[in-house]
Amino acid sequence: MSEKEKMLSGMWYVADCSDKTLYEERLKCKSLCYEYNQLNPLKSEERKALMKKILGKTGENFLIEPSFQCDYGYNIEIGENFYSNHNLVILDPGKVVFGDNVFIGPNCGFYTAEHPLDYETRNKGLEIAKPIKVGNNVWFGGGVTVVGGVNIGDNVVIGAGAVVTKDIPSNTVAVGNPAKVIKKL
């Protein structure tokens, strides 16, 4: 089984530069992200077309403000009426799926990669990809971090600066580090 097949299957895999396929895919994606981040904001059609090349699936109505960074792109899906403010980072060896009407504040990160706690194993370059799923009508305040293996329901507000390490149920407001539900909507 290839390292890419392991990655996509949620198994431990080697993510370093020794795997030519993953390395070249990351390099291609990062090159496209660089190109996107250099485009003039007035070139909205070109920006949209380039983002459609980067991401695995998009709705028709979306806007991602530069700077945007991701690893592979093909593991990211965004729904209709998606908006992200500046400095969105999605580390996507695992699938990251956003529903419709998702709004993301500036400086947010979605990280599916996880590394072994044991340093000897970690030093071998292993990681595992855990997916992130975000429902419909979700708003992330600025500076939010979401780690892999998390599901966020529909109609959720995640307060600025929150670190989401566990599932957040629908119709709630969650804040803090780690994020905790403080209100039902």
Please report, for the domain that includes residue 89, its CATH number: 2.160.10.10
Residue 18 pLDDT: 78
Residue 157 pLDDT: 98
pLDDT digits (tens, 9 = 90+) for 85-135: 999 999 999 999 999 999 999 999 999 999 999 999 899 889 999 999 999
Say if residue 106 is preceded by a cis peptide, omega within 30 of 0: no
Q: Rounded distance, CA 109 to CA 146, Å? A: 6
Q: Rounded distance, CA 162 to CA 174, Å? A: 8
Domains held by the chain: number: 1
DSSP code at position 57:
B
Residue 62 tokens, joined: 């979306």
Q: Rounded distance, CA 74 to CA 54, Å? A: 7
For residue 156, the Cα-to-chain-centroid distance in whole angstroms is 17
Note the pTM of the prediction, 2 decimals.
0.96
Hey, how many other C-beta atoms are within 10 angstroms of the C-beta on 105?
Answer: 21
Q: Find out whether 113 and 15 touch, Cβ atoms under 8 Å.
A: yes
- When pLDDT is cut at 50, 70 and 90, the band that residue 47 belongs to is very high
pLDDT digits (tens, 9 = 90+) for 11-41: 999 987 778 999 999 999 999 999 999 999 9
Catalytic residue among 115, 130, 133, 180: 115
Residue 17 pLDDT: 73
pLDDT digits (tens, 9 = 90+) for 51-79: 999 999 999 999 999 999 999 999 999 99
Residue 178 pLDDT: 98
Residue 19 pLDDT: 82
Q: For this structure, is 86 an active site residue?
A: no
Residue 126 pLDDT: 93
pLDDT digits (tens, 9 = 90+) for 128-183: 999 999 999 999 999 999 999 999 999 999 999 999 999 999 999 999 999 999 99
Residue range of the domain that includes 175: 3-184
